[in-house]
Amino acid sequence: MRDQDFLAADFKPQPYWWDHAPPTLPDSAGGVLPNRCDVAVIGSGYAGLHAAIVLARMGVDVVVIDAEALGHGASSRNGGMVSGGVNVGKHIDLDPLQERAMLAEASLSYSWFEDFIQTEGIDADYQRTGRFVGAHCSKAWQTLAKRMAKLNEVADSSAYMLPAEQTREEIGSDYYKGGMVLERSGAVHPGKLHRGVLNVARSAGVKLFGNVRAGAMAKRADGLRLETSRGPLMADKIIIATNGYTGDLSAWHQRRVVPIASYQVATEELGSEMVTQLFPKHRMIADTKRLLYYFRPSPDRKRLLFGGRARYLHHDSTAGGLHLRRKLTAVFPQLAEVKLSHGWWGYVAYLRGGVPDLGESQPETLPGVYHALGCHGSGVVMMSWLGYRTGLLVSGQANSQSAFSGGRIAPFPLYQEKPWFLPIIGAYYQLRDWTDRRLDGKFSK
């Protein structure tokens, strides 16, 4: 069969989630962008909305603008896998005290997130499903075991290790060599979640504008002047919540934020019996590879949603989706004939420090401009939380300092506009993942 034959007749090159909760186009404020506000928020994803909600509830006049439809970015495209810190700094060596502080805050962010959904009555198909992290080789299993101890001690993760021979308790596949189960984690429908948070923002009095692109920012005697595609907007403070979509908004931020595309596909309906064979406990699944796969059942448990890296510079939902389908069938050979119903991609953001960051970006040269950036692929909870914390910081009401605030946002060397180095790093990581599996166990005795 040709690759194209694996696309269902009604294949859509857009997020599966948009079938139920598409990003919102219309303005909530009648389309007229004010020329002044207390705080202007750039970006209408989870981070921007949560910053705006906390401010509006304190009586601050907040305007949120987005260059595209509200929720166009990663917040309506992600895998919907939520947890309290399993991915914080997982590929870097952090100072031990700093790591503990971050994990403790990440754990707190998860309780805050669950509480927010419940208190606001957001219907986002949230379930505490738990997560299985598959070890791609025995060495990765050992590393996971060390991390598990830390996660349980500091982040209250309710995690335990699963030996290789019990892998099939968690997944209908022999691809992994055991792994770690985290009970304290779950799943949402990311599109419904975004829509719910947007409605909370609207009710709190936030003024929301889609299709308004932000441009240059400058200090003036009477505040900050933000150029937009609908004319200038004066604000006392500005929050940049553009994550992987930051682009050329500001050269300073662009040099510090590397956008990396994450691809996802949805299969056509497999039936709930097959889905239960693939996911015996209906958990979220990710793995330990440098180029990880992450996958889950759809909330209705009829399809498989599968994500990973596919293309680095020239994006194409269909071609990237077909590439991912080959990875999917490597994990689940029983799905060799499966067709795709949806394929899409979105940007996540990496910072040089390897962890997310919030704070005042350039206090000396452009005071009053703040950021919440750098999800490192895991931001449903974390970017919501960092948005909330940034709102508190901007309002002057934060009564403690976030472990994620300040000091870690440095420029990447030799990077100006285009992340030309990504295909090279991607090829290197792929090779390392492949050799890990090929050589697994060969030198252990």
Ligand X SMILES: Cc1cc2nc3c(=O)[nH]c(=O)nc-3n(C[C@H](O)[C@H](O)[C@H](O)COP(=O)(O)OP(=O)(O)OC[C@H]3O[C@@H](n4cnc5c(N)ncnc54)[C@H](O)[C@@H]3O)c2cc1C
Which residue minimizes CB distance to ligand X? 379
- The reply to whether 257 sits near ligand X by the rule CB under 6 A is no
Considering only the stretches 25-33, 124-132, 342-350, 358-366, report the one whose residues sit in contact with ligand X under the rule CB under 6 A: 342-350
Residues 42-81, interacting with ligand X (CB under 6 A): 42-48, 65-68, 72-75, 77-81
Least Å distance between CB 325 and ligand X? 15
Least Å distance between CB 164 and ligand X? 25
Which of 112, 141, 245, 404: binder of ligand X (CB under 6 A)? 245
Distances (CA, A) of 163 to 59, 91, 148, 166: 53, 23, 14, 6
- The reply to whether 241 sits near ligand X by the rule CB under 6 A is yes
Crossing angle between the packed helical segments 46-56 and 190-204, to the nearest 10 degrees? 20
Nearer to ligand X, 66 or 436 (CB): 66
- The reply to whether 89 sits near ligand X by the rule CB under 6 A is no
**CA-based torsion, 253, 389, 189, 103: positive or negative:** positive
Nearer to ligand X, 251 or 439 (CB): 251
Nearer to ligand X, 214 or 351 (CB): 214
Nearer to ligand X, 44 or 341 (CB): 44
Nearer to ligand X, 378 or 436 (CB): 378
CA dist 304 and 266 (Å) reads 6
Residues 344-403, interacting with ligand X (CB under 6 A): 346-348, 375, 377-380, 383
CB 376 within 8 A of CB 354: yes
Least Å distance between CB 439 and ligand X? 30
Task: State the number of binding residues for ligand X (CB under 6 A).
Answer: 44
Nearer to ligand X, 241 or 275 (CB): 241
Considering only the stretches 38-46, 118-126, 325-333, 390-398, report the one whose residues sit in contact with ligand X under the rule CB under 6 A: 38-46
- The reply to whether 109 sits near ligand X by the rule CB under 6 A is no
Nearer to ligand X, 348 or 351 (CB): 348
Residues 300-319, interacting with ligand X (CB under 6 A): 307
Cβ partners under 8 Å of residue 333, min gap 6 = none
Which of 247, 280, 411, 419: binder of ligand X (CB under 6 A)? 247
Least Å distance between CB 11 and ligand X? 17
- The reply to whether 178 sits near ligand X by the rule CB under 6 A is no
- The reply to whether 244 sits near ligand X by the rule CB under 6 A is yes
Residues 202-231, interacting with ligand X (CB under 6 A): 213-214
CA dist 217 and 40 (Å) reads 11
Least Å distance between CB 284 and ligand X? 7
Least Å distance between CB 381 and ligand X? 6
- The reply to whether 249 sits near ligand X by the rule CB under 6 A is yes
Residues at the site binding ligand X, with contacts judged by CB under 6 A:
42-48, 65-68, 72-75, 77-82, 213-214, 241-247, 249, 262, 264, 294, 307, 346-348, 375, 377-380, 383
